[in-house]
Structure 1
Amino acid sequence: MTDRDEVKLHWLRQNERRHIRNLPRWAKVRIEKKAAKWLGKACKVSVPLFWGQEMSVVFPEFVSGRLGKFGYFEDDVTSMFIDCLESGMTFYDVGSHFGYFSLLASSLVGSKGQVFAFEPTASTYEVLTENAARRDNITCCKVAAYRTTGPLAFIEQGVGRSSLNFVIGEGYEPDPADHMARETTVPAVKLDDFASQHGEPDFLKIDTEGAEIPVLEGMIDTIARCHPTIVLEMGDHVCSSTGNGLSRQNVDFLLRHGYEVFEYRNRDPRPHVPRASYSYTNLLFRHPTRMTRPRIAK
């Protein structure tokens, strides 16, 4: 049985018991999170993911808490990966954070595939590299993906709020009461430039806190040439708070390039009808020229 087969089997088993609380696991996470808050500092711990892979996380950070309690993060995106990633594929994880989706993709694409994990901020990147070292096919890239290659203004919020780091958009207005946010400069790369040197992606996840359009604009040639499957985070509140445009523009951009859009409900894909506005969700974009297509729920 391949790693991919094992991941799929564990996900099916997890689905059967997902409404049953694992009380010992939840209690352990609760104690560790409270200890971190009491100590007044972030605490790094190791947690098992749903297919048995160990991963380093940092309490009391939000994503880490979810991984600690459930062994996965974002039910819909995890299902998208399991449905669409095949052995031997190349995956780009844009906004990799601590690397949950990079680890998942690494197991799904196997030894013949490769994973490139993009994370520009130092404290987050440190945890990412520790997790990537657990696998042989993950390459960590300490850069942001953007529409241009060069220095990029960025907000870093510390390891405890690391999932909320973001590119400073044109409409960004600092919050004087937010003492955690720190403006910095990080290197950025156009994914077209990156792909020309390291190979084109078959699949991407782009989670850049509202800066998804600049990432897409930086890979326009790659989109036209190889039509990679793309998962995008959507959410107008995040876009507004970071000074970036609204999420509908992401949908319109990829529709203009011939993509079809899917949403997942209860781990099953359905065709997505574009909306005027978006609360928090994730969407799957697939081009008709891609052979593998998601199973559509009836």
Structure 2
Amino acid sequence: MNLPLNYLVRSYLRWCPITDGKRLLLNLTRNLITPEDPITVFDTKYGFRLKANLANPEHQYLYFYGTHDERHVVTKLLKMVQPGDICWDIGANIGFYTCFLASRVEESGVVVAFEPAVRTCGYLSENVSLNRFANVTVVNKGLSDRIEQRPLYYAEAGLAEGTASLKYVNSRSVSERVTLDTIDNLIRELPVPDFIKIDVEGYQLEVLRGGEHCLKTHAPLLMAELKDVGETNRDTFAEIEEYVTDLGYQLYEIRKYSLRRCKKLSDAPKRNFFLVKEQSRAFSRILPWLRC
């Protein structure tokens, strides 16, 4: 690996405000600046470190850019999440959002991170320890609408895939049995969240149904990937939309500089959405971003 070139390219990818040409630059230099050992620890743009597997393209993005590829989500959360908040990260993977949220809520806040896959949860726990976040609780469970055990499917063992799913598709041939719980059951023993991030690859409706009492009673702000990559959950779009609106939640599509009210989930070009009740305290957090 060419260390000086690695430093220059990664610095440019992370900090240059001009985005045109960044992907081309990375493609031209990738073989020269990628560490030989795929298991590596690196700094992010937000002051915390991550251990990741660079054989995973999602982890490579984090390594080179220092942030998640959902950067427009991250910029919104920088202002929405506040010191003292209680945040739940459902589908935490190796912990980018967990560590990001932990740094935002500071010592007075709490983050609870849920990751069902054993190896991936190992990365998550290591990253929490690596950054000495005493305000994070890691739970090796998935979330659903019932308490049970189910197979979790993914393409390759050891990659800590962010696309692992409780729903089987042909491209995911490896599986492990994982434990599932519900939001409503867990709030009996865990702090009630102000903010919940949900990234569960096709299991969004089940997670939401398992938190019906929490959503009705406490009305936390939600950020959820409601449209999976490839839209493998297209058959549940209408059900998700009906369910959350019946609970009083409105969907807001995440744009580069704003949030826009989503009229129909299936027509929205984006994957990620904020969900909020307009009469709740959480609504004030999204107001600066609203565009009708």
The separation in 2 between residues aligned to 1:247 and 1:122, in whole angstroms, is: 29
- Tell me, yes or no, if structure 1 residue 77 matches structure 2 residue 73: yes
Which residue number in structure 2 is paired with residue 19 of structure 1? Answer: 19
Which residue number in structure 1 is paired with residue 7 of structure 2? Answer: none
Offset at 1:140?
0.7
Structure 2: tracts of 5 or more residues without a match: 1-13
Q: Which moved more, 1:52-61 or 1:136-145?
A: 52-61
The separation in 1 between residues aligned to 2:51 and 2:255, in whole angstroms, is: 29
| Secondary structure at 2:83 match in 1 | coil
The separation in 2 between residues aligned to 1:217 and 1:274, in whole angstroms, is: 20
| Secondary structure at 2:74 match in 1 | helix
Do the aligned partners of 1:261 and 1:284 also contact (CA within 8 Å) in 2?
Answer: yes
Which residue number in structure 2 is paired with residue 47 of structure 1? Answer: 42
Offset at 1:34?
7.6
Q: Which residue of 110, 117, 129 corresponds with 1:114?
A: 110
TM-score (normalizing by structure 2): 0.82
Offset at 1:21?
7.0
Which residue number in structure 2 is paired with residue 162 of structure 1? Answer: 161
Task: Give the direction of change, closer, same or farther, for the CA distance of 1:105–1:162 in structure 2 (3 Å limit).
Answer: same
Cα deviation code 1:4-58 (max 9, x no counterpart): xxxxxxxxxx7872527789x958865465846xxxxxx2111221123211111
Task: Give the direction of change, closer, same or farther, for the CA distance of 1:29–1:48 in structure 2 (3 Å limit).
Answer: farther
Task: Give the direction of change, closer, same or farther, for the CA distance of 1:22–1:45 in structure 2 (3 Å limit).
Answer: farther
Q: Report the RMSD for the aligned CA atoms in angstroms.
A: 2.7
Which residue number in structure 2 is paired with residue 221 of structure 1? Answer: 213
| Secondary structure at 2:188 match in 1 | helix
- Tell me, yes or no, if structure 1 residue 202 matches structure 2 residue 188: no
The amino acid across from 1:115 in the alignment is V
Offset at 1:147?
0.5
Offset at 1:254?
1.3
The separation in 2 between residues aligned to 1:34 and 1:181, in whole angstroms, is: 28
Offset at 1:237?
5.7
Do the aligned partners of 1:264 and 1:283 also contact (CA within 8 Å) in 2?
Answer: yes
TM-score (normalizing by structure 1): 0.81
Task: Give the direction of change, closer, same or farther, for the CA distance of 1:60–1:236 in structure 2 (3 Å limit).
Answer: closer
| Secondary structure at 1:116 match in 2 | strand
| Secondary structure at 1:209 match in 2 | coil
The amino acid across from 2:48 in the alignment is Q
Structure 1: tracts of 5 or more residues without a match: 1-13, 37-42
Residue correspondences, number: 269
Do the aligned partners of 1:233 and 1:280 also contact (CA within 8 Å) in 2?
Answer: no
